[in-house]
A = this chain, B = another copy of it.
Amino acid sequence: MNAIPEVSERLVHVPLGERAYDILIGPGLIARAGTEITARLRGRRAAVITDENVGPLYLAALTDSLEAAGIAVASLVLPAGEKTKSFEPLMAVCDAVLEARVERNDMVIALGGGVIGDLAGFAAGIVRRGVRFVQVPTSLLSQVDSSVGGKTGINTRQGKNLVGVFHQADLVLADSDVLNTLSEREFRAGYAEVAKYGLIDKPDFFAWLEANWRDVFAGGPSRIEAIAASCQAKSDVVVADEHENGARALLNLGHTFGHALEAATNYDSSRLVHGEGVSIGMVLAHRFSARLNLASPDDAVRVEAHLKAVGLPTRMSDIPGALPPAEMLMKAIGQDKKVKSGKLTFILTHGVGQSFVADDVPSSEVLSFLKENHPQ
């Protein structure tokens, strides 16, 4: 990972048999979407789903590109934000897709971040029991995480992502130009997931990020390289375990704590966004592993130092406002869908790049740890 090839575009192939697909990463892909799609897919009708933040920036360019390639386009612009990942907008998307007469070989296109991707992908998975799906992710988070791997879904009052399907995309177009319009905070939040791939099982990639993160943030050649390496890392895990029966759980490194903190802040993005929760969660996972004598405390220090350097929060005390007591955080962890028959499953680590699935973590240990780390 030390030599950075001077590439302007990268392709990551996800080899899932009859569900295999390509991820293209590079500049100008929205303007080229029509030709990239028609080169790979037969359908000539598309329903584009986007939100009120992204639509004004890129919907016209995407529509022009599709229509120039002979694809008939209908579009639906939804409110931006996590609340859009729920049943009512799902019904609206299904209705729009059916009204557009999208048939099985036609496509739903998600133009937006993780919320739009998860929602539109779910609709693509259930309309006519599955139509084609193209992702045009517009945040760093969705480019490196949610647009790869086929998980789709919505939230319910019981928790996040509790209703959904596995429905792989048929093509992902990750246009690196769009990242220039992200806020610094949003870019950093996505970067937490980039760092996660190093922490799971790629210590060299983590060391490379420690050396090159400034170029990734500045939009230098390392950016496309980091995105491609992340997509490749996620693809490797997904191919090994498409339906999350085992190793795929590693992708949840930092997420069990992170989800609990997101719930504890009522998904209020002014206080905490997903990637920030993951950042704090990953530091907690490393410190918890050290507390259980599974890893050296030095690793937790190193992980925290890097995430802090890029400007991410790393402690529960970094979250503005009061948090509910540790017992309430435990309850949120208990409703997490990775619980099997009441036992707690956690992703723990033996050190940087040495994560593993722990199936039988005593909840008493977790509670003590949360109490020690609780800022109030």
Contact = CB atoms under 8 A, between A and B. Distances in A.
A151 interface: yes
B126 A165 contact: yes
Report copies per complex.
Answer: 2
Interface string A74-102: 00000000000001000100110011000
Interface stretch (A138-146, A153-161, A352-360): A153-161
A137 B243 CA distance: 28
Interface residues of A, number: 31
A84 to B, nearest CB: 16
A125 interface: yes
B128 A337 contact: yes
Interface in A323-344: 337, 339-341
A91 B99 CA distance: 22
Given A95-B156, A98-B158, A129-B151, A340 B163 contact: no
Contacts of A162: 98, 127-128
A105 interface: yes
Nearest to A157: B95
Nearest to A342: B103
Nearest to A95: B156
Interface string A41-52: 000000000000
A164 interface: yes
Given A104-B340, A158-B99, A341-B103, A129 B164 contact: yes
A166 interface: yes
Contacts of A87: 87, 91, 94
B105 A341 contact: yes
Contacts of A99: 158
A129 B157 contact: no
Interface in A111-150: 125-130
Contacts of A243: 129-130
A128 B245 CA distance: 13
A339 B157 CA distance: 38
A162 B87 CA distance: 17
Contacts of A128: 162-163, 337
Contacts of A340: 103-105
A130 B151 CA distance: 12
B94 A165 contact: no
Interface of A: 87, 91, 94-95, 98-99, 103-105, 125-130, 151, 153, 156-158, 162-166, 243-244, 337, 339-341
Given A129-B243, A130-B166, 15 more contacts: A94-B156, A95-B158, A103-B337, A103-B339, A104-B337, A105-B340, A126-B163, A126-B165, A127-B162, A127-B163, A129-B151, A129-B153, A129-B165, A129-B166, A165-B165
